[in-house]
Structure 1
Amino acid sequence: MTEAAPAAAIGASEFDRDTAVTRREPGVYDTELSAGWTIIAAVNGGYLLAVLGRALADALPHPDPFTITAHYLTASVPGPAVIRTEVVRTGRTLSTGQASLFQRDANGEEVERLRVLASYGDLDALPDDVRTSAEPPSFPPPEQCFGPQDAPDNGRGTVSGSSAITERLWLKLDPATLGWALGSPSGKGEMRGWFGLADGRDADPLSLLMTVDGLPPTSFELGIKGWVPTIELTAHVRCRPAPGPLRVAITTRNLAGGFLEEDVEVWDTADRLVCQSRQLARVRLTG
C-alpha cells in the first residue's frame, strides 16, 4: 500500500506560493494571480482577500489580520497584478492599512479590481478569556459527507460549482445541504461542510480569509444556479486555528432585489470560533 504524501507545511504549500507577493518598493507589491483559484473564469474572492492580506501583513507592523473588508470593483482574472498599500495608522496593539489590487485591461489601461481596509494585530498576544453563546455546527463526520470527488462527473458543475478552485480544496459537505446537487434544493439558505486545503496544509489566519469564501454559495440550496459574485466581504479573525480540518457553516436569511447576504462561521478542531464573515453577493435571477 502506498503511503500518503506528507501534508504541506505552512509557508511551503500551493496556497502560499499562489498568494505570494514581491515587494517592488515600499508599499508596492507584484503578484501573479493563479488560474487554479478560479470560479468559471473569475478569480475567487476569498483567494484575492488572502493575497491582499499577505501584502498588508508585510506592509504593517503587526502580523495578523483581525478585521478586513474588501469591496470587489471588477472581476479579477489570472495573470500579473500590482498591489498598492498605505499605512493609515499604527498603534501599540493594532495597525490599520488599506490596499488596492490593479490589473491591465485589453487596452493596457490599469484597472482597480478590489480595495481593502484592514486592522492587524498579534493573535498570540490576545487573552484566553472567552464568553460566548455561539456553538459549533453539528453535522456528520467527513466519512458521512460528500465532496466533489463523490459526484458522477468528479465534481465539475455539481458539488464544485464548476470551478478550478475545487481541485485545491478538501471539501466534505453536509448531506442536509446537498439537495441542490441532486436536483432537489431544500429552499433553505444553508451550506455546511468540512474544509481544508487539498495538500494537507493546516489553516492559519491568512488561509482563513480564503476559507470564508470557499464553499458553494447558499443560493444553490435556494434553487438558484450560476455564479454569485461578491460585492463586499468582511472577515473577522478571532484566534489562530488549531491543526486539523475546519468546520464551516453558512446561512442566508434574506435574498431581495437580486442580492443576498452570507454569514459564515469557521470552527477549528478545538471547538473554537476562529473566524466569522459576512458578505453581500449578487444573484443572477432567471426565469
Structure 2
Amino acid sequence: MSQTPSSEFVRATAVERQGDHTFTAELDAGWKVGGAVNGGYLLGVAGRALRDLNPSTPDPLVISTFYLGPSTEGPVDISTRTLREGRSTASYGIELSQNGAPTVSAMATMGNLGALPDDVATTATPPQLPPPDECISVAEASDDFHKAAPIIDRFDMRLDPATAGFAVGKPSGRGLLQGWIRLIDGADPDPLSLLTFLDSFPPVMFDLGRFNWAPTMELTAHVRALPAPGWISARISTRNIAGGMFEEDCDLWDSTGRLVAQSRQLARQPRG
C-alpha cells in the first residue's frame, strides 16, 4: 500500500499554508509520549511544511533539530526562512511555536532523493532479525503503557526478542534495541515517515534498565534513499552515558536491505 492523502500519517502531519513562509498545523494527541507530542512526529510535521514550501525539493536530506520545550496537542504555528536555494538542494530554517513560545528550532537541507545517483558502497549491514511474526508486538504492552505512550498505537512495531528482555524485567545491559516498524494502517514508508520512525521506538535506555521516557535535546537525521514498500527494520544503540545525558543512534533499513535513514540524538537520562 502506498502513501495516500487518506493515510493516517498524512492526515496527522498535514499543514495549512498561511503566507509565503508560514504555516499552521493541528498536532494530534495520538502521537504523544509521556504527556508530550513525540519528537519524531514533529519532524514529520516540519518536513511536510518544507515539502509544501518548495515542491521541487520534496525530500529531507538532513535535518538538525533542537527541542526547546515540550509540544502538546492542538494548534502549532510554523515559520520558515530560506537560507539558500540551489539547482538540486535547498536549505531552510524552520521553527514550530505554541502559544507564542518556540518549541522546535531546526535547519534542514531538502532535495530530491529520486534524482540521486544509484551507486551504493557501504560497509554497514542490516540488523539480523527474526521475521516480524516471530518478534514481540508492542501492541501487547500493558494498558498503562498504552495510556502513557499512545504513539505506539500508530505503528505496527515488533521487537527482536533478543533485545526485548526489558519488557519482562530482564534488560540485557548492552544498550541495544532492534525490531521492525511500519504504519498501523499499512501505508508504505516515505521519507517523511522515516523521520518519524527514527524517534519512535522505546528509548534504548530501557535495555539498560533505566525506564521512563527520555526527553530529546537535539536530533540530527539523514535520509539516504527512497524506501521500498514494506517493513522497515531498525537498530537503536547507545555507547556513552555521562553528565545525565546519553546519545542514541538509529539506523533504518528498507525491505530490500538498503540503509535508508540514520540519526543521532542527545537526550537526557530518563526521569524518575
* Common fold by TM > 0.5: yes
Alignment map for 1:87-106 (pairs within 5 Å): 87-104=82-99
Deviation per CA, 1:17-75: give whole Å up to 9, x if none.
01000001111001000000000210000000110111111223411110011000000
**Partner residue in 2 for 1:147:** 137
Deviation at 1:147, TM superposition (A): 1.2
C-alpha distance in 1, partners of 2:93/2:199?
20
Could you tell me how far apart the structure 2 residues matched to 1:130 and 1:161 are? 42
Amino acid at match of 2:104: L
User: Once the 2 structures are TM-superposed, how far is the Cα of residue 12 of structure 1 from its aligned partner?
Assistant: 2.1
Distance 1:15 1:8 in 2: 12
Asked whether the equivalents of residues 138 and 159 of structure 2 are also in contact (C-alpha less than 8 Å), the reply is no
Q: Aligned runs of 1:180-259 on 2, under 5 Å?
A: 180-259=166-245
Report Cα offsets for 1:156-208 as digits up to 9, x if no partner. Answer: 42xx6930001111000001111111011111111111000000010000110
CA contact (8 A) 1:161 1:216 kept: no
2:78 equivalent to 1:83: yes
Match in the other structure for 1:44: 38
- Which of the residues 50, 55, 58 maps onto 1:56? 50
**Cα distance change of structure 1 residues 8 and 128 upon mapping to structure 2, 3 Å threshold:** closer
Q: CA deviation at 1:231?
A: 0.4
Is the CA contact 1:10–1:202 (under 8 Å) kept in the aligned structure 2?
Answer: no
- Pairing partner for 2:111 from 106, 110, 121: 121
Report the counterpart of residue 107 of structure 1 in structure 2: none
1:120 Cα deviation from its structure 2 partner: 0.7
Match of 1:171 among 135, 157, 161: 157
Contact residue 64 and residue 122 of structure 1 kept, 8 A:
yes
C-alpha contact 2:212 2:271 (8 A) present in aligned 1: no
Determine the structure 2 residue equivalent to 1:33: 27
3-state SS of 2:18 partner: strand
Answer yes or no: is the 8 Å Cα contact 2:21–2:79 preserved in 1.
yes
8 Å CA contact 2:198, 2:250 repeated in 1: yes
> Is the CA contact (8 Å cut-off) linking 1:8 and 1:199 kept in structure 2?
no
CA displacement 1:123-178 (0-9 Å, x = unmatched): 11111111110111101111110012334x35x42xx6930001111000001111
Identity %: 48
AA at the equivalent of 2:209: G
| Contact kept? 2:2, 2:229, Cα under 8 Å | no
* Contact in 1 for aligned 2:250/2:264 (Cα 8 Å): yes
- 1:133 equivalent among 115, 118, 123: 123
Contact 2:189 2:229 in 1 (8 A): yes
1:14 aligned onto 2:18: no
Q: Distance in 1 between matches of 2:94 and 2:3?
A: 27
Residues of 2 paired with 1:232 and 1:81: CA distance? 20
How many residue pairs match? The answer is 271
Q: In 2, Cα distance between the equivalents of 1:161 and 1:68?
A: 30
Flag the 1:90–1:67 CA change in 2: closer, same or farther, 3 A.
same
Given the superposition, is the C-alpha separation of residues 46 and 246 from structure 1 closer, same or farther in structure 2, using an over 3 Å criterion?
same
What letter is aligned with 2:53? A
- DSSP-derived class of the 2:151 partner: helix
**Counterparts of 1:53 and 1:9, CA distance in 2:** 15
TM-score, with length taken from structure 2: 0.96
Deviation at 1:8, TM superposition (A): 6.6
2:206 counterpart SS class: helix
Which structure has the larger Rg?
Answer: 1
- Greater Cα offset, 8-17 or 72-81: 8-17
SS of the residue corresponding to residue 25 of structure 1 reads coil
The answer on whether the counterparts of 1:49 and 1:210 sit within 8 Å (CA) in structure 2 is yes
Q: Please tell me whether the aligned partners of residues 95 and 120 of structure 1 are also in contact (alpha carbons under 8 angstroms).
A: yes
RMSD of Structure 2 on Structure 1 (CA): 1.4
- Choose the corresponding residue for 1:273, options 238, 259, 262: 259
The 8 Å contact of residues 62 and 220 in structure 2, kept in 1 or not, is answered as: yes
Q: What stretches of structure 1 of length at least 5 have no aligned partner?
A: 1-6, 105-109
